[in-house]
């Protein structure tokens, strides 16, 4: 039997990091088993679906490393509406489902509670199909439904506690429970690897598989992903869009490494490992069922490690979207003709050790390409205190007289200027850094001045001195 797994997102918004984690787990499992990864877009919510969201799913999978030539599909759930209705009809004809005309208000009136489930009022009324009548599955009165789960063991559900649930709405359209089951049957899915939040639906779906005469798949419900307050990650409250992390400058390799650690860990005391190791060592049966904490600070640290591990030429290439404003990345604050590729290449090794996400490259190097530095007024106020004007005058004089414009000469000159005024280098360089770069922190100052050049450095120092008059 060929293993077939599926990832079935809905095109109703940005791509959730939890969904990306599930996609990766399905994809790796299929590769390990010599099986097939199927992408099925569940697009039956016509009011919320947008074509751009579907394309967003495909591009997000591309970015995370699941290339389009490595999976089957995409299939679209809307294309299988006929199969869904046919399955509902078979269940009705076999006596496994019945029509119900109860409104929610009527059920609440009979049960005296808005929280109690359906009371089975129409179970034996023998209603024929009709407008506004929903089709309900006839849940067995006795026995249990055992869900064999590779991660959670064998959760057992008493059938009498499962209400007769709706499988088709009053207009005849199947609900998610039935459509999902029929799609999996149609596509020959052997293993369903999905988020824990779907576990409560699983006994109902397994009952549908049994009623339709098909062996259920092997289930594996991976842990829910939570925030620092141990709340389930929410699109409304948390930063969950994979695209947002991509556009901020997280590397795909770092993201997929981190996502795979949400509920699982490679062997040994290590977390940052080659993808080949993850592909070889990942086991569904070793996934921890407890909620997995999505720690953005830890992800950021991961990303910094991955950035520092890049060869410099790859780092330069990775920064290009932020330097040029391509794709979904906002344009940088300088004009295209102001960008100097050689100057960036010269400072790239310095910047590479100091940023954790690629978008941080812009504030670190903008002073090289802007006609004038973008001054942080808080930094100016902090650096340009009493004595700053005198120090800038001395720095201008010292730098003007330099024969060799190199980092070591620039440093020794400013050290001497500071020493004459009883200042250590750290204090002496603060006004110079703000005058030239606009900020109190950034790349190593003297290497930056060397790349910026004599003329532009002196022009900025003099402009800062005039502002202090």
One domain for residues 62 and 200 = yes
331, 347, 367: which is the final residue of a domain? 367
443 falls within a domain: yes
One domain for residues 69 and 183 = yes
Residue 387: CB atoms within 10 A of its CB come to: 14
10 falls within a domain: yes
136, 151, 175: which is the final residue of a domain? 175
Helix 341-352 to helix 445-452 angle (10° resolution) is: 170
CATH number at residue 388: 1.10.10.350
DSSP state of 95: T
> What pLDDT, on a 0 to 100 scale, did the predictor assign at position 466?
95
Q: How far apart, in whole angstroms, are the C-alpha atoms of residue 104 and residue 132? A: 13
Please spell the DSSP secondary structure of 336-366, one letter per residue.
GGG--HHHHHHHHHHHHTT-SSGGGHHHHHH
DSSP state of 440: S
230 falls within a domain: no
User: Does the CA dihedral 259-64-325-369 come out positive or negative?
Assistant: positive
| Helix runs in 146-295, H state only | 176-186, 202-211, 242-248, 252-260, 275-281
Please name the residues in contact with 91: beta carbons below 8 A apart, sequence gap of 6 or more. Answer: 97, 135, 137, 167, 208, 211, 212
One domain for residues 304 and 343 = no
Q: Global pTM?
A: 0.92
> What pLDDT, on a 0 to 100 scale, did the predictor assign at position 236?
84
**Residue pair 407/447 in contact by the 8 Å Cβ criterion:** yes
What domain range is 405 assigned to?
A: 377-467
Q: How far apart, in whole angstroms, are the C-alpha atoms of residue 429 and residue 411? A: 9
| CA 130 to mean position of chain CA atoms | 45
One domain for residues 171 and 184 = no
- 3-class DSSP state for residue 224? coil
Quote the mean pLDDT of the chain: 95
161, 193, 225: which is the final residue of a domain? 225
- 3-class DSSP state for residue 218? strand
Residue 63: CB atoms within 10 A of its CB come to: 18
**Residue pair 187/40 in contact by the 8 Å Cβ criterion:** yes
70 falls within a domain: yes
One domain for residues 392 and 461 = yes
Q: Strands 292-293 and 191-195: what pairing?
A: unpaired
Backbone φ and ψ of 447, nearest 5°: -65, -35
Q: How far apart, in whole angstroms, are the C-alpha atoms of residue 350 and residue 110? A: 73
In the chain, how many domains are there?
5
> What pLDDT, on a 0 to 100 scale, did the predictor assign at position 46?
67
Please spell the DSSP secondary structure of 384-419, one letter per residue.
S-TTHHHHHHHHHHHHHT-SS-SHHHHHHHHHHHHH
> What pLDDT, on a 0 to 100 scale, did the predictor assign at position 18?
95
One domain for residues 26 and 63 = yes
One domain for residues 10 and 52 = yes
Q: Is 371 exposed, middle or buried (0-12, 13-18, 19+ CB in 10 A)?
A: exposed
232 falls within a domain: no
pLDDT along the chain (469 residues), means of 10: 94 90 98 97 77 89 96 95 96 97 89 80 95 96 96 96 95 93 98 96 97 97 94 88 96 98 93 96 96 96 98 97 91 94 97 97 97 95 94 97 97 97 95 97 97 97 94
> What pLDDT, on a 0 to 100 scale, did the predictor assign at position 47?
65
336 falls within a domain: yes
Could you give the residue numbers annotated as active site?
235
234 falls within a domain: no
CATH number at residue 131: 3.90.800.10
Residue 187: CB atoms within 10 A of its CB come to: 18
One domain for residues 62 and 117 = no
- Look at residues 94, 24, 93, 26 and name the one whose alpha carbon lies nearest to residue 61: 24
> What pLDDT, on a 0 to 100 scale, did the predictor assign at position 111?
78
Please name the residues in contact with 127: beta carbons below 8 A apart, sequence gap of 6 or more. Answer: 98, 99, 100, 101, 133
CATH number at residue 18: 3.40.50.620
One domain for residues 251 and 103 = no
One domain for residues 408 and 457 = yes
Q: How far apart, in whole angstroms, are the C-alpha atoms of residue 271 and residue 273? A: 6
> What pLDDT, on a 0 to 100 scale, did the predictor assign at position 11?
85
One domain for residues 109 and 165 = yes
One domain for residues 187 and 255 = no
231 falls within a domain: no
Q: How far apart, in whole angstroms, are the C-alpha atoms of residue 413 and residue 105? A: 84
pLDDT tens digits, 343-365: 999 999 999 999 999 999 999 99
């Amino acid at each position: 039997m060929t293993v077939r797994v599926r990832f079935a997102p809905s095109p109703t918004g940005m791509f959730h990091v939890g969904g990306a984690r599930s996609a990766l787990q399905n994809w790796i499992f299929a590769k390990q088993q010599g099986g097939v990864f199927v992408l099925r877009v569940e697009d039956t919510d016509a009011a919320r679906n947008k074509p751009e969201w579907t394309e967003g799913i495909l591009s997000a999978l591309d970015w995370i490393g699941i290339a389009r030539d490595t999976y089957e599909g995409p299939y679209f759930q809307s294309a299988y509406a006929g199969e869904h209705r046919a399955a509902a009809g078979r269940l009705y004809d076999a006596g496994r489902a019945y029509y119900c005309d109860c409104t929610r208000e009527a059920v609440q009136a009979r049960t005296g509670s808005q929280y109690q489930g359906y009371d089975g009022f129409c179970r034996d009324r023998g209603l024929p199909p009709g407008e506004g009548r929903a089709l309900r599955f006839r849940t067995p009165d006795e026995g249990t439904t055992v869900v064999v789960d590779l991660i959670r063991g064998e959760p057992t559900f008493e059938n009498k506690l499962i209400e007769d649930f709706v499988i088709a709405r009053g207009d005849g359209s199947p609900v998610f429970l039935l459509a999902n089951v029929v799609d999996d049957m149609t596509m020959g899915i052997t293993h369903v690897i999905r988020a824990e939040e779907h576990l409560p639906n699983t006994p109902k779906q397994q009952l549908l598989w049994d009623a339709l005469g098909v062996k259920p798949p092997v289930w594996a419900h991976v842990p829910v992903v939570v925030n620092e307050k141990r709340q389930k990650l929410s699109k409304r409250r948390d930063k969950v869009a994979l695209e947002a992390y991509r556009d901020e400058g997280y590397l795909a390799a770092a993201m997929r490494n981190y996502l795979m650690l949400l509920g699982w860990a490679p062997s040994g005391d290590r977390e940052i490992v080659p993808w080949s190791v993850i592909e070889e060592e990942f086991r569904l049966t070793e996934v921890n069922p407890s909620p997995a904490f999505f720690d953005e600070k830890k992800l950021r640290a991961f990303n910094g490690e991955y950035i520092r591990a890049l060869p410099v030429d790859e780092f330069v290439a990775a920064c290009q979207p932020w330097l040029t404003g391509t794709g979904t990345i906002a344009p940088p604050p300088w004009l295209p003709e102001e960008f100097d590729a050689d100057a960036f290449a010269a400072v790239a090794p310095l910047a590479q050790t100091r940023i954790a996400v690629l978008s941080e490259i812009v504030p670190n190097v903008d002073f090289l390409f802007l006609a004038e530095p973008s001054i942080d007024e808080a930094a100016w106020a902090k650096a340009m205190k009493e004595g700053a004007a005198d120090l800038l005058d001395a720095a201008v004089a010292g730098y003007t007289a330099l024969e060799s414009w190199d980092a070591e000469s620039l440093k020794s000159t400013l050290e001497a200027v500071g020493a004459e005024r009883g200042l250590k280098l750290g204090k002496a360089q603060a006004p110079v850094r703000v005058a030239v770069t606009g900020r109190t922190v950034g790349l190593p100052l003297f290497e930056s001045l060397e790349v910026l050049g004599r003329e532009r450095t002196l022009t900025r120092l003099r402009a800062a001195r005039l502002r202090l008059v």
